[in-house]
Amino acid sequence: MAATFYVQHVRMDWGLPHFSLELMAAVEEYLGQTPVPSYNQLYPEQADLTGHFQRQTTRLLEHQTRQTHHPEPQYASDGEIDRMVDEAYDSLTPGTSTRFFSAGGSSSHPGQ
């Protein structure tokens, strides 16, 4: 963390951070042994990002084309549904009266 703080100060031209002499020596020794990525390595240019997203898009399209095709479920057509409704209606006996709405009131209090 101290090395990251040190690198940030140097990159932002803020001067050196106020570390103790021992910590500064340890940070400088660490940075001498550990490669620090440059700004361009940390933040790629637009062309590099475009290539990355093009590869991702290609991979997505390849994945989608490998998916198996599942046929849509078969539903009854409008004509078939109409025929089924007509058959159900015709199957009712002529004496059966289907009342969807009552004249008023409830089953315990008939309408007036």
* Least confident residue range of 8-22, 24-38, 97-111: 97-111
Residue 63: other Cβ atoms inside 10 A: 9
Indicate whether 104 belongs to any domain: no
Indicate whether 7 belongs to any domain: yes
Indicate whether 81 belongs to any domain: no
Quote the pLDDT of residue 52.
72
Quote the pLDDT of residue 112.
52
Domain that holds residue 3: 1-34
* Least confident residue range of 43-47, 74-78, 104-108: 104-108
CA-CA distance, 36 to 78, in Å (whole number)?
Answer: 69
At 41-75, the pLDDT tens digits run 777 677 667 777 788 888 888 877 776 566 666 66
Indicate whether 40 belongs to any domain: no
Instruction: Indicate the number of domains in the chain.
Output: 1
Query: What pTM, to 2 d.p., does this model score?
Result: 0.33
Indicate whether 30 belongs to any domain: yes
Indicate whether 2 belongs to any domain: yes
Indicate whether 71 belongs to any domain: no
- The radius of gyration of the chain from alpha carbons, rounded to an integer in Å, stands at 39
Indicate whether 27 belongs to any domain: yes
**Token pair listed for 62:** 């390849």
